[in-house]
Amino acid sequence: MPLHLPRGSATWLLHLYHGGLAGVTAGLHAVARHTGIPVVLVAAMALVISWRLARRGGRLALELGLALVVVLAATRFGWVHW
């Protein structure tokens, strides 16, 4: 059953999602074939690893954003000169 999107919607996002999903599944199957580990276990490991990296990456982005605000404020008030 085809998915009909309303006029003016971002259909490129849907195509990108399907293309990326096909690439991910092909990659998981290739890793499973190469290592001999079942694809379900490879997918579970990839999910856990990506979740942990996203959490740490989000924390890093927050810390960098706060540091940027502090440096910009110090520059604006004249405490730091570049």
pLDDT by residue, tens only, the chain of 82 residues = 455 555 555 555 555 556 666 777 787 788 888 888 787 888 888 888 888 888 889 888 999 999 999 999 999 999 888 7
The label of the residue with tokens 């001999």 reads 36
> What would the two tokens of residue 72 be?
């910009």
User: Is the pTM for the entire model greater than 0.85?
Assistant: no
Residue 70, judged by CB atoms within 10 A of its CB (0-12, 13-18, 19+), counts as exposed
- The upper half-sphere exposure of residue 61, i.e. CA atoms within 13 Å in the direction of its Cβ, equals 6
